[in-house]
């Protein structure tokens, strides 16, 4: 297919794989000459050589001295401008940077000859949104009780608890602190090094997270650990890891235990002082309000999940053959933002969940990628926009759930490069909420709803989702704030 437009380039486009396009571009001689003259004129106006006034250096001297660099710069500018023209003409939505077909060094400007080259890029899949006004959703309904409030108070007492050094062996919920070094595939050269990382001790039969990697047998590996021990932790790099070097590699983490600590929960009076309140009734009132807000957010998330799952089942699309590192990182950043917003997890617990997803299957990653494409198209369909006030409101919400001031949380998110992701998550949630609004929603008691999720098992012994989560957090004693800094594999030192 060949098209014409107001730009000077000859363009054609073809499919070369699922959601992958190849754009062939020919730049006519006249366009090349115009660009060369423009570049030459710029150089001439800025160049001063002995014996010549500025701007008066003869063309043949400029050509002799700067010709090669002028051609190289003109070529790069032409390629960039032609690609922008192709994006506009074919309304492409690229998922990454274009890749040259062949050796880009061979694309050179020659006098009197047109310039021809081709670029390939993965793009947003082309698909149609199905009808969704017949989708039926179920919302779990729960009333926040005094028991829920007490359990959340106990969780906050652990979360804000004090640290105490542990003598001897550590137990579940304790933390091991010390330096760590990462080696890949038996190489002597260090891939990553940190002077201080923190590992939460899971139960002996459970897995856990360290340096952004989920280790299935971490509990057994750390069993009996104490200060002075050097521990070798071996795993396989997840295929979907953001860093290409880590994917599929044999990873060995050498961790030296220099300190072991345990969380001592705060008393009710101490917790009241931490919150800066003069009445414990006010503490309970604020906790209840936070739980009700969390419940409302959870209900909205459940409805979004149901709606997007249903519409995903109705949509057929060709996914890009490879999920780029940028897309994998975006996927994990989105999950991290959602978990932080939920308020049920500390940063340590969030990173543990992210590590599990990082170790997930390609099929799961493709499902999430498909959902991303659908939500992006829904956002366009519903003309969704996000303003700065909405982003700030989400940051304030995350700050409240994590017990910090909004400005502190904004700075932290900025350092982690997550501010843009906050904007994207808010946009996608607004799109999903519009989808939910077009569906039929029926309320259902949470016990009955949970039993339905479990395949119809009796809900007699079931607790609420909020209650269950709070108990889990309290029992593991993993919810305290730390002054030590947790690091994950992010780049080479």
Per-residue model confidence (pLDDT) at position 47? 67
Q: Average pLDDT over the chain, rounded to whole?
A: 83
Residue 385 has pLDDT above 70, yes or no: yes
Residue scoring higher pLDDT (487 or 183): 183
Least reliable range by pLDDT among 77-81, 265-269, 455-459: 455-459
Q: Nearest to residue 458, comparing CAs of 448, 468, 467, 466?
A: 448
Per-residue model confidence (pLDDT) at position 206? 92
Residue scoring higher pLDDT (211 or 466): 211
Strand 136-141 and strand 440-445: the pairing is: parallel
Domain boundaries, the chain: 2-122, 136-160+266-476, 162-264
Strand boundaries in 259-315, DSSP class E: 259-264
Contacts of 392 (CB under 8 A, 6+ apart): 406, 410
Q: Tell me the β-bridge partners of 116.
A: 26
Whole-angstrom distance, CA of residue 464 vs CA of residue 292: 13
Residue 466 has pLDDT above 60, yes or no: no
Residue scoring higher pLDDT (148 or 414): 148
Q: Nearest to residue 304, comparing CAs of 206, 119, 437?
A: 437
Residue scoring higher pLDDT (334 or 11): 11
Contacts of 398 (CB under 8 A, 6+ apart): 337, 340, 341, 409, 413
Residue scoring higher pLDDT (152 or 482): 152
Least reliable range by pLDDT among 223-232, 319-328, 482-491: 482-491
Whole-angstrom distance, CA of residue 162 vs CA of residue 477: 12
Per-residue model confidence (pLDDT) at position 309? 95
What is the number of other CB atoms lying within 10 angstroms of the CB of residue 32? 22
Confidence of residue 96 (pLDDT cuts 50, 70, 90): confident
Domain 2-122 has CATH 3.40.250.10: no
| Percentage of the residues of the chain whose pLDDT score is greater than 90 | 51
Residue scoring higher pLDDT (479 or 76): 76
pLDDT tens for each residue of 172-208: 989 999 999 999 999 999 999 999 999 999 999 999 9
Helix runs in 343-418, H state only = 347-358, 362-381, 388-401, 406-415
Whole-angstrom distance, CA of residue 224 vs CA of residue 164: 18
Whole-angstrom distance, CA of residue 208 vs CA of residue 93: 38
Residue 239 has pLDDT above 70, yes or no: yes
Residue 343 has pLDDT above 70, yes or no: no
Confidence of residue 492 (pLDDT cuts 50, 70, 90): very low
- Provide the token pair at 346: 């500390």
Per-residue model confidence (pLDDT) at position 413? 85
- Provide the token pair at 310: 């249903």
Confidence of residue 357 (pLDDT cuts 50, 70, 90): confident
Mean pLDDT for 134-139 is 96
Per-residue model confidence (pLDDT) at position 106? 75
Q: Are 43 and 69 in contact (CB under 8 A)?
A: no
Backbone angles phi, psi at 417, to 5 degrees: 70, 30
Which CATH number is 162-264's, of 3.10.50.30, 3.40.50.11260, 1.10.3210.10, 3.40.50.300? 3.10.50.30
Residue 159 has pLDDT above 50, yes or no: yes
- Provide the token pair at 451: 């039993």
Least reliable range by pLDDT among 147-156, 226-235, 332-341: 332-341
Confidence of residue 490 (pLDDT cuts 50, 70, 90): very low
Per-residue model confidence (pLDDT) at position 361? 64
pLDDT tens for each residue of 280-294: 999 999 999 989 988
pLDDT tens for each residue of 262-279: 999 999 999 999 888 899
Residue 132 has pLDDT above 80, yes or no: yes
* Largest distance between two CA atoms of the chain: 96
Per-residue model confidence (pLDDT) at position 326? 57
Helix runs in 173-267, H state only = 218-222
* End-to-end Cα distance, the chain: 48
Question: Helix %, strand %, coil % for the chain, to 5?
Answer: 45, 20, 35
Confidence of residue 465 (pLDDT cuts 50, 70, 90): very low
Whole-angstrom distance, CA of residue 100 vs CA of residue 22: 9
**How far, in Å, are 14, 34, 72, 77, 103 from residue 106 at the CA level?**
22, 21, 11, 16, 6
Mean pLDDT for 103-109 is 76
Q: Are 86 and 98 in contact (CB under 8 A)?
A: no
């Amino acid at each position: 297919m060949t098209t014409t437009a107001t730009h000077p380039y000859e363009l054609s486009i073809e499919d070369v794989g699922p959601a992958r396009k190849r754009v062939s571009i020919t730049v006519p001689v006249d366009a090349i000459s115009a660009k060369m003259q423009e570049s030459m004129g710029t150089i001439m106006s800025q160049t001063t050589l002995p014996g010549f006034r500025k701007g008066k250096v003869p063309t043949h001297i400029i050509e002799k001295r700067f010709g090669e660099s002028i051609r190289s710069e003109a070529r790069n500018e032409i390629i960039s401008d032609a690609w922008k023209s192709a994006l506009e003409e074919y309304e492409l939505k690229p998922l990454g940077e274009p890749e040259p077909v062949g050796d880009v060094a061979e694309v050179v400007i020659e006098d009197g000859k047109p310039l021809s080259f081709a670029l390939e890029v993965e793009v947003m899949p082309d698909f149609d949104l199905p009808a969704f006004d017949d989708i039926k959703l179920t919302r779990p309904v729960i009333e926040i009780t005094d028991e829920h409030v007490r359990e959340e108070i106990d969780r906050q007492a652990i979360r804000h608890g004090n640290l105490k050094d542990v003598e001897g062996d550590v137990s579940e919920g304790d933390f091991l602190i010390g330096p760590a070094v990462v080696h890949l595939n038996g190489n002597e050269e260090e891939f990553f090094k940190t002077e201080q990382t923190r590992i939460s001790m899971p139960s002996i039969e459970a897995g856990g997270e360290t340096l952004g990697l989920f280790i299935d047998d971490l509990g057994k590996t750390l069993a009996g650990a104490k200060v002075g021990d050097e521990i070798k932790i071996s795993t396989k790099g997840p295929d979907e890891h953001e860093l290409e070097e880590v994917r599929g590699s044999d990873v060995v983490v050498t961790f030296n235990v220099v300190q072991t600590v345990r969380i001592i929960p705060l008393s009710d009076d101490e917790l009241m002082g931490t919150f800066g309140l003069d009445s414990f009734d006010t503490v309970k009132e604020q906790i209840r309000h936070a739980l009700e807000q969390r419940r409302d957010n959870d209900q909205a998330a459940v409805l979004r999940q149901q709606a997007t799952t249903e519409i995903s089942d109705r949509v057929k699309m060709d996914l890009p053959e490879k999920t780029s590192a940028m897309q994998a990182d975006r996927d994990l950043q989105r999950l991290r933002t959602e978990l932080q917003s939920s308020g049920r997890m500390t940063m340590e617990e969030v990173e543990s969940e992210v590590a599990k997803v990082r170790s997930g299957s390609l099929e799961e990653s493709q499902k999430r990628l498909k959902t991303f494409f659908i939500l992006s198209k829904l956002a366009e369909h519903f003309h969704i926009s996000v303003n700065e006030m909405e982003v700030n409101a989400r940051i304030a919400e995350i700050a409240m759930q994590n017990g910090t001031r909004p400005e502190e949380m904004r700075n932290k998110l900025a350092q982690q490069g997550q501010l843009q992701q906050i904007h994207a998550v808010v946009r996608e949630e607004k799109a999903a909420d519009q989808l939910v609004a077009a569906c039929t929603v029926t309320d259902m008691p949470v016990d009955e709803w949970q039993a339905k999720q479990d395949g119809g098992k009796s809900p007699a012994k079931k607790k609420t989702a909020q209650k269950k989560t709070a108990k889990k957090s309290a029992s593991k004693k993993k919810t305290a704030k730390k002054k030590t800094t947790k690091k994950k594999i992010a780049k080479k030192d």
